[in-house]
Structure formats: structure tokens, C-alpha cells
């Protein structure tokens, strides 16, 4: 074994390595790990008020949560919201990318049009959609009116409100994911498709057997983003429904905001945050240890 340039075998090298990692480690610890641990710690205490200090109550917040119907509604809504946004937005993104990747007239404009929703602020978008959904003279009801269909109170009825919110999210996200697919599609060597064509593969076979598998790394990346967004994107709720009617569109993060910053019950909000955190951690673990093995990297 040759002498290390820094001398003294591996010891100094190890210190050297740790020092190099230190800035990143400090940032990660200060802004990711410490807040997570602190949140858990706070979730074990009551919320301090003016003249009543915080008191240790163990798992009481978690017990309350089990009996809290709004928490269960929000959780259930969030699962529906995830199911309704993740797959449709990915499928739509892929379809749009394939479409604007082809040689068609005006594809620059088309790409721009698909990407526009991404650059608009969510709050502005939500205000526009609020008027799309307005009963009677909103865009949707005007179109329905052409076919003689009655007006629908999209956001004001428990049956349709969550679906309406999901549509906005898919519309907002698909353009963003499309960009990743577009980049990935342009990385695929054209020979692969041409070879398949020589072998007599149909268009569908070429997509399903060649393009789709080669897009898998991108799909994994997009899937992770879509899942995180399904639990993170609540901006439009503030404008469109405020979680209503009767909690029909309340999502976990929105409920956490309400408990934390409207009810000022930070202890309980911390406990709710732990649920969200463990949900996301589980999803991430599943993806990295299970799904990743199924992905083909070129």
C-alpha cells in the first residue's frame, strides 16, 4: 500500500473526506433532520398558550387523531387525490411528449402551449379555474349548455368538488412532466426504433417494447415527483374550496395548515405532520428498494 498523499494512512484521508462532506451535512441536518426530529418531539407535548406552558402528554395527540373524523376524511381524500393525479398526469405527459416529439408543423408553439400551465402561479391558475367552474356561466357549464345539459355546482357539491380539484392539478402538472419525457425521448438513439421497424414491429410494439422501457428511468423520476406533489400541492384549495364543502376537498397538508396556523394547535399539527412524513418516507423507500430494481438503465 502506497503512502497516502496526506500521509498517516487512511486516517487523515477520512478526516479530509468528512470535512468535504461537512457543509452539505450541516445544511441537511439543520434543515431536514433536525426539523423532523423536533416535529416528532413537539408532537408529544401540548401546545403552549400565553400563560400555560407545554406539557408532556406522550401519544395523546396520536390517540386523538384516531378519533378525529376530519383527519380520516383528509387522509381518504388525499389517497383519492393521489390516485386521481399521479397516473393521469404521467400518462398525459407521456402522450403529449410523444405528440410534440414527432415532426409536425408548429410543434414549437405546441410545446410552449403544453408547458404554459407550469409557469403560471398556482394561485392565479386557481382563480381562473374558479370561474371555469362557476355554475351557469362558467366555461364548463356554457359548453354543457350547448347540449342542453343543466348547470352543475362543481365546487359547491361534495360529489364533484374533489374531482374538480384533481382536474386542475393534472392540467397544471402534466406540462411539467412532459418536458422530462421530451428530453428523454430525444436521448433515445433512433437506430433502436429503426431496427425494430426492420424486424416488422408495429407502431404500438415499437412504443411498448422499445420506447416505453427506455423511458422507465424518467418515469421513475416523474412518479416520485408526482407522488410528492400529490401530498404537497394544496395552494389551489385556498382559492377554490378552502377544504369545503364540509371537508370534501380537505387534504392532509391543508388540514395541517388549518390546525397549525388557524387553530394554533401546533402540538397536534406536529403529530399530523409525522403521519404525512411517514407516509412519504414509506413511498420513497418502496420506490428506491423495490421499483428501482425493475427500471432499465441504458
Partner 1 sequence: MRKLFSGLNQIAAGLGIALSVAAAPAIATDLTFFYPVAVGGPVTKIVDDMAAAFEKEHPGIRIKPVYSGSYQDTITKVLTANKGGDAPHVSVLLSTDMYTLIDEDAIVPFDELARSDEDRAWMQGFFPGFMKNSQTGGKTWGIPFQRSTVVMYWNKDLFKAAGLDPERPPQNWQELVDYGRKLTQRDASGKVTTWGVQVPSSGFPYWLFQTFTTQAGVELMNAAGTQTYFDKPEVIEALQYWVDLSRKHGVHPQGVVEWGTTPKDFFERKAAIIYTTTGNLTNIRNNAGFDFGVAMLPAGKQRGTPTGGGNFHIFKRATAEEREAAMKFVKWMTAPQRAAEWAIATGYVAVSPAAWETETMKKYVADFPAPTVARDQLQYAVAELSTHENQRVTKALNDGLQAALTGTKTPAQAMQDAQREAERILRAYR
Footprint on this chain of partner 1 (rule: CB under 8 A): 49-51, 70, 130-131, 134-137, 145, 148, 150-151, 153, 155-158, 241-242, 244-247, 258, 261-265
Nearer to partner 1, 219 or 266 (CB): 266
State the nearest-atom distance from the C-beta of 110 to partner 1, in Å.
Answer: 32
Nearer to partner 1, 155 or 178 (CB): 155
**Are 172 and 125 contacting, i.e. CB atoms less than 8 angstroms apart?**
yes
Q: Is residue 193 exposed (0-12), middle (13-18) or buried (19+ Cβ within 10 Å)?
A: middle
Q: How far apart are CA 213 and CA 199, in angstroms?
A: 18
State the nearest-atom distance from the C-beta of 32 to partner 1, in Å.
Answer: 21
Q: C-alpha cell of 160? A: 364533484
Nearer to partner 1, 18 or 34 (CB): 34
Nearer to partner 1, 115 or 132 (CB): 132
Nearer to partner 1, 24 or 146 (CB): 146
Measured CA distances, 24 to 11, 30, 35 (Å): 21, 10, 16
State the nearest-atom distance from the C-beta of 76 to partner 1, in Å.
Answer: 15
State the nearest-atom distance from the C-beta of 130 to partner 1, in Å.
Answer: 7
Nearer to partner 1, 153 or 197 (CB): 153
State the nearest-atom distance from the C-beta of 68 to partner 1, in Å.
Answer: 10
State the nearest-atom distance from the C-beta of 269 to partner 1, in Å.
Answer: 12
Three-state SS letters, 190-235: HHHHHHHHHCCCCHHHHHHHHHHHHHHHHHHHHHHHHHHHHHHCCH
Nearer to partner 1, 70 or 192 (CB): 70
State the nearest-atom distance from the C-beta of 245 to partner 1, in Å.
Answer: 4
Q: C-alpha cell of 217? A: 428511468
Give which of 1, 22, 19 is closest to 10, Cα–Cα. Answer: 1
Q: C-alpha cell of 19? A: 470535512
CB contact set of 259 (below 8 Å; sequence gap of 6+): 265, 268, 269, 272
Nearer to partner 1, 93 or 237 (CB): 237
Q: How far apart are CA 217 and CA 158, in angstroms?
A: 38
State the nearest-atom distance from the C-beta of 235 to partner 1, in Å.
Answer: 14
Beta bridge partners of 56: 45
Helix 122-132 × helix 139-146 angle, to 10°: 30
Amino acid at each position: 500500500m502506497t503512502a497516502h498523499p496526506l500521509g498517516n494512512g487512511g486516517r487523515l484521508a477520512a478526516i479530509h473526506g468528512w470535512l468535504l462532506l461537512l457543509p452539505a451535512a450541516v445544511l441537511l441536518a439543520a434543515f431536514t433532520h433536525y426539523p423532523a426530529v423536533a416535529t416528532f418531539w413537539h408532537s408529544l407535548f401540548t401546545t403552549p398558550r400565553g400563560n400555560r406552558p407545554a406539557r408532556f402528554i406522550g401519544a395523546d395527540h396520536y390517540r386523538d387523531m384516531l378519533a378525529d373524523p376530519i383527519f380520516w376524511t383528509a387522509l381518504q381524500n388525499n389517497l383519492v387525490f393521489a390516485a386521481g393525479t399521479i397516473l393521469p398526469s404521467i400518462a398525459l405527459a407521456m402522450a403529449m411528449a410523444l405528440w410534440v416529439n414527432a415532426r409536425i408543423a408548429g410543434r414549437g408553439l405546441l410545446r410552449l402551449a403544453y408547458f404554459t400551465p407550469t409557469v403560471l402561479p398556482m394561485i392565479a391558475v386557481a382563480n381562473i379555474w374558479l370561474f371555469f367552474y362557476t355554475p351557469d356561466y362558467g366555461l364548463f357549464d356554457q359548453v354543457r349548455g350547448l347540449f342542453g345539459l343543466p348547470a352543475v355546482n362543481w365546487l359547491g357539491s361534495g360529489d364533484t368538488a374533489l374531482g374538480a380539484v384533481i382536474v386542475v392539478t393534472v392540467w397544471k402538472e402534466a406540462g411539467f412532466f412532459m418536458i422530462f419525457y421530451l428530453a428523454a425521448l430525444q436521448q433515445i438513439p433512433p437506430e433502436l426504433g429503426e431496427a425494430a421497424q426492420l424486424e416488422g414491429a408495429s407502431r404500438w410494439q415499437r412504443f411498448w417494447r422499445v420506447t416505453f422501457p427506455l423511458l422507465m428511468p424518467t418515469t421513475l423520476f416523474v412518479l416520485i415527483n408526482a407522488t410528492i406533489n400529490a401530498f404537497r400541492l394544496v395552494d389551489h384549495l385556498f382559492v377554490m374550496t378552502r377544504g369545503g364543502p364540509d371537508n370534501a376537498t380537505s387534504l392532509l397538508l391543508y388540514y395541517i395548515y388549518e390546525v397549525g396556523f388557524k387553530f394554533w394547535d401546533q402540538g397536534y399539527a406536529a403529530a399530523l405532520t409525522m403521519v404525512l412524513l411517514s407516509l412519504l418516507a414509506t413511498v420513497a423507500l418502496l420506490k428506491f428498494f423495490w421499483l428501482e430494481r425493475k427500471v432499465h438503465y441504458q
